[in-house]
Structure 1
Amino acid sequence: MKENNKLNFPASLRLTDQSAEEGFTALTELGDCYLSVGDHQQAQLCYDQAADIDPDRAEPYVGIGAVAFQNGNTDEAENAFKVALRLDRTNAKAHCGLAMIYHNAGAYTEAFDRYLKCLEQDTDNLSALLGLFQTSCQMGSFEKVTHYLEVYLSMHPDDHSVMFCVATLYMRDGKLQKAQRALNAVLKADSDNTDAAALLEEVEHQLAQKA
């Protein structure tokens, strides 16, 4: 990359003042920061320079893929995520990135498989959990996603958006009492949650019919 396209880091971050490993870490972390605030140009520069330092590490390509995906360049994003996975088959973020691309394209089976691969490496990945829930609703397959959502809730019991997703899956799977308990927990924390209230009404109606 040409020198005039490089970031002008403060002295504390210049690569001449630190080891290659420290420079790589600083660049990828700074790229993630820029990406999180929507500064795609600066994020891209950081990831490109990190890849120049160590082209055999997956992290910069995950970042490059994320920038491309957020800019709507899905072909470029897919290629970058696949490069990342060639370098590290266990990279959860790269699997999740591909899953989101397939999901947006309506390729639900491929998206489902990639979300699962992500969660096998990182059960705490909320983007993959919610994506898996959405694809499960499209496909009518709930068993695996319910397991991962339950694992997540065991670590984050106060995440009521995920608890609502679990309640929805319980209801669709005929586990009405579990759905009722989960929805009551959601409404105890958020009494104005109209979606949870409506679903609870439907669950209790079904329970009454079975009584």
Structure 2
Amino acid sequence: MTKLDTQPVAPLLELLQSAEHVSVEEVPAKKPLQRTFVLNIQPGNNSQSEGGEAPQRPAPEYDRGYLLENARLLLQNADFLLAQNLYSRLLQKNIQDAEALLGLGICLLRLGDRQKAKKCFGALWELHDSEEALVWLGHCFSKEGDDRRAIQTFGGIRSLAALSDEERFEVLKESGNCYFRLGRETEAREAYLGARDVRPDSVLLEVNLGMVELQCRRLEEAENHFQRAMDLEAGCSKAYSGMALVAQEREDFFVAEKYFYKALDLDPLNQTALLQLVARAHRCGEFASISERLKQFVAREPDNVDVNYAYATVLFKCSRWAECRERLHLALSKDPHHRPSQKLNRELNQNRHPA
């Protein structure tokens, strides 16, 4: 018996290939809100023959339904590498297996290989006219920022009602994101509200709806959505940022600053709150507090171009020329065409500030 959460992955993949018998079972979890699965492996006979060579034996055959059930359990438990192995095995037997194509695509997507995932979903659509394929293809396009193509792909789904709740939520949420980025707030609101009908307790949707209303300058409605997000999750950093933006629109800058700092206390990587506070620091000429927050951010995300530039502007105002150059160098090494960094760098060089 090999526990998935305590063993290295590579040896398990090797065992799966040569196992005599494989099964996955759920066992009682030691902690609340946690699911624990155990992978049971009966190793194959690897004893060597008298000549010193391992005997040749055919790979064991498994029932398709049995393999699919085990793959689904692994996928549900976020064991994507192991699930990928089982789905790949099914596709070796039948390259057109619809459920295996879908499962493998989801595994690849979760493992960060979006291009290969899209190939799986594309094949699933072409071979089987599967609307599930459109759900995940649209998701991929949305994550790539190809919003119009994502909306077009989601539009090919004939009936949202025929999808599972998870798939319907995914389509509506991502459609809302795409519409919002395209400046189509009315359609974004409708999509988010549809997604909320599927999942009424979604904190993310309340934040997104708040941002839509804020964009439309419907401040009371925006505030209500952000407050509901905070009621659902007391530590929601994005909701505090939203409340700060509402206060800022009302020109209540003291309250806005308080909310922005609370958002950073909850999540030091909340970029919206951080950059808003940088802008406020420039207006007020007070940089000590925000300098420390910027330092914390770049320590954890050193390659963030926008934050490195923002930090450089603060260092410039504090006459910390060498550190300013360092931040600009990092920003321009990641994006040589970042115009604000180029401009500040020219100003540093033209005024010959000492290193």
Normalised by the size of structure 1, how large is the TM-score? 0.73
Whole-Å Cα distance in 2 between the matches of residues 121 and 95 of structure 1?
9
1:13-28 aligned within 5 A: 14-19=160-165, 21-28=166-173
**AA aligned opposite 2:245:** M
Instruction: Report the secondary structure of 1:38's partner residue.
Output: coil
Structure with bigger strand share is 2
Structure 1, unmatched stretches of 5+, are: 1-6
Quick one: which of 285, 295, 311 aligns to 1:166? 311
1:92/1:118 contact within 8 Å kept: yes
Change (3 A) 1:191 1:58: closer
Alpha-carbon deviation of 1:131?
Answer: 0.8
Structure 2, unmatched stretches of 5+, are: 1-153
**AA aligned opposite 1:143:** A
Deviations 1:5-41 (A, max 9, x none): xx98824x7244313x443343222211221112212
Deviations 1:137-161 (A, max 9, x none): 23444333223323433424361x4
1:197 aligns with 2:342: no
Which stretches of structure 1, 4 residues or more, deviate above 4 A after TM superposition? 183-192, 199-203
Larger Rg: 2
Instruction: Report the secondary structure of 1:157's partner residue.
Output: coil
Whole-Å Cα distance in 2 between the matches of residues 104 and 124 of structure 1?
23
1:117-196 aligned within 5 A: 117-154=262-299, 155-157=301-303, 159=305, 161-173=306-318, 175-183=320-328, 189=336, 193-196=342-345
**AA aligned opposite 1:145:** I
Change (3 A) 1:57 1:163: closer
Alpha-carbon deviation of 1:201?
Answer: 5.5
**AA aligned opposite 1:194:** K
1:43-122 aligned within 5 A: 43-122=188-267
2:303/2:331 contact within 8 Å kept: no
Change (3 A) 1:73 1:178: same
**AA aligned opposite 2:185:** H
Instruction: Report the secondary structure of 2:226's partner residue.
Output: helix
**Sequence identity (%):** 25
Whole-Å Cα distance in 2 between the matches of residues 200 and 103 of structure 1?
36
Whole-Å Cα distance in 1 between the matches of residues 304 and 251 of structure 2?
31
Could you tell me which residue of structure 1 aligns to residue 126 of structure 2?
none
1:31 aligns with 2:176: yes
Instruction: Report the secondary structure of 1:55's partner residue.
Output: coil
Deviations 1:114-133 (A, max 9, x none): 22233334444332221121
1:112/1:136 contact within 8 Å kept: no
Whole-Å Cα distance in 1 between the matches of residues 287 and 278 of structure 2?
8
Could you tell me which residue of structure 2 aligns to residue 10 of structure 1?
157
